[in-house]
Chains A and B, each alone.
Chain A
């Protein structure tokens, strides 16, 4: 791979804003460096960096993590490990040894136990609890450290109405449980400008009728379930945030949120929000639609977008133009343009910037000297960042998945794949990439 150094910035191309971005970026990075990091966490980070360099092993391990919950016992898990490593095996690697050990009668269960342990460790790094009640202590600890949370309930895919009902019921209970618990937490003036409890919901889990060519079917089916959740959120004073997923459900989700927030009972609450994905080439039109469609103040969480491979592969297989930017730099650039647009749309829009890219965060902060914005990070991956940002007195919210291991697997795999890709800011930082280069205007 050729590494092309970014061109040195000419003095004339560094407007005052860029200087502020760099200064803020350095401040954040310094905070990250100071953040307490356990020895195991450092090892895990190095492991992830190592995985990013070996695509075959990376694929094998992620497929193991994916299948682990479906394995009957440790011997079964070991057999899967052996087969997966067999696929990744090439001459001159330690994989062959690991594979031989896992297929031995004596070695099998032991290796299975080890794999089991690794999978569980990885999962607990990202998942805060098996259910909302179980998660409360960790959420309170976060709050005391200066970070609010957005809770995301993991679950199996919804293919039946019963599953949609069950997910809606879990969300409803989560809102109540968390609202009850959060009432006793100490005051945090930085955080208390918005509801303490924040639940992220997935519309594709609220209906089994997600059809790309017929969004109206999903809207009709999910409507009553999402309406119930909005009512509960309003009653308990929580914020309800609707996550965005792949293009196949975008029209459904967007229109459903616009429809429901337009209903008279929701004009004065609850606090609600939606997601904007910067990697979409038509994100600007998407934002126009939201600004035109929703009358009351609402939150927009700006993300880069987590379905890049899905969108790219699907488009390729069907012969479509990819709906997403093909290079990271285009997404990063779009992210900054959208950041500016969102900040200008305040107070109609409450802005949440969800990124682990220090440059993107610094840019948002530079554009909002009043600091009236929220910064969101992912539990397990943005922990350093969370500490750095709370240390700067900023409003931080950590996205916290809740659920059991089986349910958490696809989330876990997605997060791991994302963050061990060669484009990842995190991987580049771990590799010791030059901070100034990473802070350069995209």
Chain B
């Protein structure tokens, strides 16, 4: 079976751009996002999601799930799972592929929704939709491959079979920064392997989650096999703690991830299994620039990696570790490049830095920049921001003291720290000393350096001579090590193993001394 990624829109063609603008105009807001348990909708709005670029624009009126909803959803998923699993991988894959078709049919609308709800600029919003489609198609294929896996040694007189059974109920706790792709991927992995799923989307992006759930249901996923629980942190916490949950698939902050791991480790009354956690958490991603780097490539790649989508990707570049011989040149060009960035609403084509997700994020990022100033660092933050929306102007910072919060903690915003290193090996030591190990970058034109750094760095995804974001399903399986995650690779060939339990059956085929 061959897999190809869903083609991105060719936005360099004017009619394609016009199609998206039309979709944005046609998008009727606000949406109403209910709690959906076993196909039953409970619609009694308690909170809203708003446009980060225009906070008065309500994108969705949302019903937060209650503890009763959580309990009902887990039970519904548990009841639906056996029949769903019994359909077999081929049938489930066909349904997931049909769901991918549903998303494909609605591509412009879904991208427009991500523009409004999460302030994703068009190219990133479109890529998010494509990645969601990719996850569905890819995991559908992988589930079929998993079902036909048979690697056991067979001797005469016995028959050994290995089967991967669904673990039961998967709780998906999703992020807002890839509001379609990441929840879609985690849900699809659970469903493809025959689990029942309960989705708790980020409170910032419930409308995107509803669009996904509707696509799965329209494609034939049994209503009870996928349930939607909008809400804030308390809903996620209740879901994770529920004794009926078997697997927790989480993408989000390190603090929440650690608390999930802790909760999952505690046996609840009535719980008869160990919970498994698949967690994708933060990073503090470094890009190493060696003296022989092509700065014509390195500067734009750094700018895009650090400031694209306002730095709100777990893969984004946070630190540039630059060989001292090229540091001044690089910094000068970097400053000049940042001067050219367009800070504006996500819906404007060509925007580099859209608003960040919410006021709290803006304030947190501002506080980091202030810390840098207080610590005597040089802050280059030239941009002016539009009057409305949660904007933060991109900042390049150098001259930070060793151990500064700004170089140690994840900021999740458009801030890049630049540090001088004496050698690539010193840079590798800095990366190696970090608690995070998600993505990394290297600019070098020496194959020996590339080889050495590839072996030294603990990061899950290393990008050489290119930007460090935008992993593609099946081509760049994505996920981090150390405190960045549980080491699983979304969009990779072995990801589905997290959602199943292996069962081996050994049958004696001898009867009365004869092999029958």
Q: Which A residues contact B (CB, under 8 angstroms)?
A: 63, 66-67, 70-72, 76, 79-80, 82-84, 86-87, 156-157, 159-163, 208-209, 211-214, 216-217, 247-248, 250-251, 318-320, 410
Having A70-B292, A162-B336, A319-B8, one finds 6 other A-B pairs with CB under 8 Å, namely A70-B445, A79-B446, A80-B292, A163-B336, A214-B349, A247-B12
- Report A-chain residues with C-beta under 8 Å of the C-beta of B339: 160-161
A247 to chain B, nearest CB (A): 6
A156 to chain B, nearest CB (A): 5
Nearest A residue (CB) for B7: A319
A428 to chain B, nearest CB (A): 31
- Report A-chain residues with C-beta under 8 Å of the C-beta of B271: none
B334 to chain A, nearest CB (A): 8
| Contact, CB under 8 Å: B296 / A159 | yes
B114 to chain A, nearest CB (A): 16
Nearest B residue (CB) for A157: B296
In the complex, A183 Cα to B123 Cα: how many Å? Answer: 51
A170 to chain B, nearest CB (A): 17
Q: Is B263 an interface residue (CB 8 A)?
A: no
Among A67, A83, A251, contact of B448 (Cβ-Cβ < 8 Å): A83
- Report A-chain residues with C-beta under 8 Å of the C-beta of B296: 156-157, 159, 410
Q: List 26 A-B contacts (CB under 8 A).
A: A66-B294, A70-B292, A72-B325, A76-B292, A79-B446, A79-B448, A83-B447, A86-B448, A159-B337, A208-B336, A209-B342, A211-B349, A213-B11, A213-B12, A213-B17, A213-B122, A213-B349, A213-B350, A214-B350, A217-B342, A251-B12, A319-B4, A319-B8, A320-B7, A320-B8, A320-B10
- Report A-chain residues with C-beta under 8 Å of the C-beta of B358: none
- Interface residues in B1-38 by Cβ distance below 8 A to A read 4-8, 10-12, 14, 17
**With contact pairs A160-B333, A212-B12, A213-B349 given, residues A80 and B446 touching in the complex (Cβ less than 8 Å):** yes
Q: Is B299 an interface residue (CB 8 A)?
A: yes
Nearest A residue (CB) for B121: A213
Q: Is B291 an interface residue (CB 8 A)?
A: yes
In the complex, A79 Cα to B299 Cα: how many Å? Answer: 25
In the complex, A308 Cα to B242 Cα: how many Å? Answer: 57
In the complex, A76 Cα to B292 Cα: how many Å? Answer: 9
Q: Can you list the 5 inter-chain pairs with the closest CB atoms, starting with the nearest? A: A214-B350, A160-B336, A319-B7, A212-B12, A157-B296
- Interface residues in B255-309 by Cβ distance below 8 A to A read 291-297, 299-300, 303
Among A66, A87, A159, contact of B336 (Cβ-Cβ < 8 Å): A159
Nearest B residue (CB) for A248: B12
Q: Is B46 an interface residue (CB 8 A)?
A: no
| Contact, CB under 8 Å: A87 / B447 | yes
In the complex, A214 Cα to B14 Cα: how many Å? Answer: 9
| Contact, CB under 8 Å: B337 / A160 | yes
| Contact, CB under 8 Å: A66 / B445 | yes
In the complex, A410 Cα to B297 Cα: how many Å? Answer: 12
Q: Is B370 an interface residue (CB 8 A)?
A: no
A235 to chain B, nearest CB (A): 30
Q: Which B residues contact A (CB, under 8 angstroms)?
A: 4-8, 10-12, 14, 17, 122-123, 291-297, 299-300, 303, 325, 333, 335-337, 339-340, 342, 348-350, 445-449
| Contact, CB under 8 Å: B12 / A159 | no
In the complex, A286 Cα to B95 Cα: how many Å? Answer: 44
* A-B contacts at CB below 8 angstroms, number: 95
Nearest A residue (CB) for B348: A214
B241 to chain A, nearest CB (A): 42
**With contact pairs A163-B336, A212-B12, A213-B11 given, residues A67 and B6 touching in the complex (Cβ less than 8 Å):** no
In the complex, A80 Cα to B290 Cα: how many Å? Answer: 13
Nearest A residue (CB) for B4: A319
In the complex, A307 Cα to B422 Cα: how many Å? Answer: 37
Among B299, B342, B348, contact of A159 (Cβ-Cβ < 8 Å): B299
Nearest A residue (CB) for B299: A159
In the complex, A216 Cα to B14 Cα: how many Å? Answer: 11
- Report A-chain residues with C-beta under 8 Å of the C-beta of B10: 318, 320
- Report B-chain residues with C-beta under 8 Å of the C-beta of A212: 11-12
In the complex, A71 Cα to B445 Cα: how many Å? Answer: 10
In the complex, A161 Cα to B340 Cα: how many Å? Answer: 7
| Contact, CB under 8 Å: A67 / B292 | yes
| Contact, CB under 8 Å: A63 / B445 | yes
| Contact, CB under 8 Å: B350 / A217 | yes
A88 to chain B, nearest CB (A): 10
A292 to chain B, nearest CB (A): 16
In the complex, A82 Cα to B448 Cα: how many Å? Answer: 9
| Contact, CB under 8 Å: B336 / A318 | no
Nearest B residue (CB) for A249: B12
B14 to chain A, nearest CB (A): 7
**With contact pairs A217-B350, A319-B6 given, residues A83 and B340 touching in the complex (Cβ less than 8 Å):** no
- Report B-chain residues with C-beta under 8 Å of the C-beta of A213: 11-12, 17, 122-123, 349-350
A209 to chain B, nearest CB (A): 6
**With contact pairs A213-B12, A217-B350, A318-B10 given, residues A67 and B336 touching in the complex (Cβ less than 8 Å):** no
Nearest A residue (CB) for B296: A157
- Report A-chain residues with C-beta under 8 Å of the C-beta of B4: 319
- Report A-chain residues with C-beta under 8 Å of the C-beta of B342: 209, 217
| Contact, CB under 8 Å: B446 / A319 | no
- Report B-chain residues with C-beta under 8 Å of the C-beta of A161: 336, 339-340
- Report A-chain residues with C-beta under 8 Å of the C-beta of B325: 72
- Report A-chain residues with C-beta under 8 Å of the C-beta of B445: 63, 66-67, 70, 80
Nearest B residue (CB) for A217: B350
| Contact, CB under 8 Å: A208 / B340 | yes
Report which residue of A66, A71, A84, A159 has the largest number of chain B beta carbons within 10 angstroms of its beta carbon.
A159
B472 to chain A, nearest CB (A): 8
Nearest A residue (CB) for B336: A160
Nearest B residue (CB) for A67: B445
Among A71, A209, A247, A318, contact of B292 (Cβ-Cβ < 8 Å): A71
| Contact, CB under 8 Å: A84 / B7 | no
- Report B-chain residues with C-beta under 8 Å of the C-beta of A208: 336-337, 340
- Report A-chain residues with C-beta under 8 Å of the C-beta of B350: 209, 211, 213-214, 216-217
- Report A-chain residues with C-beta under 8 Å of the C-beta of B447: 83-84, 86-87
In the complex, A178 Cα to B293 Cα: how many Å? Answer: 34
- Report A-chain residues with C-beta under 8 Å of the C-beta of B294: 66-67, 70
Nearest B residue (CB) for A88: B447
- Report B-chain residues with C-beta under 8 Å of the C-beta of A83: 446-449
A59 to chain B, nearest CB (A): 11
In the complex, A67 Cα to B446 Cα: how many Å? Answer: 8
B205 to chain A, nearest CB (A): 23
Report which residue of B12, B325, B335, B349 has the largest number of chain A beta carbons within 10 angstroms of its beta carbon.
B12
- Report B-chain residues with C-beta under 8 Å of the C-beta of A76: 292
**With contact pairs A66-B445, A320-B7 given, residues A251 and B340 touching in the complex (Cβ less than 8 Å):** no
In the complex, A290 Cα to B437 Cα: how many Å? Answer: 52
| Contact, CB under 8 Å: B448 / A318 | no
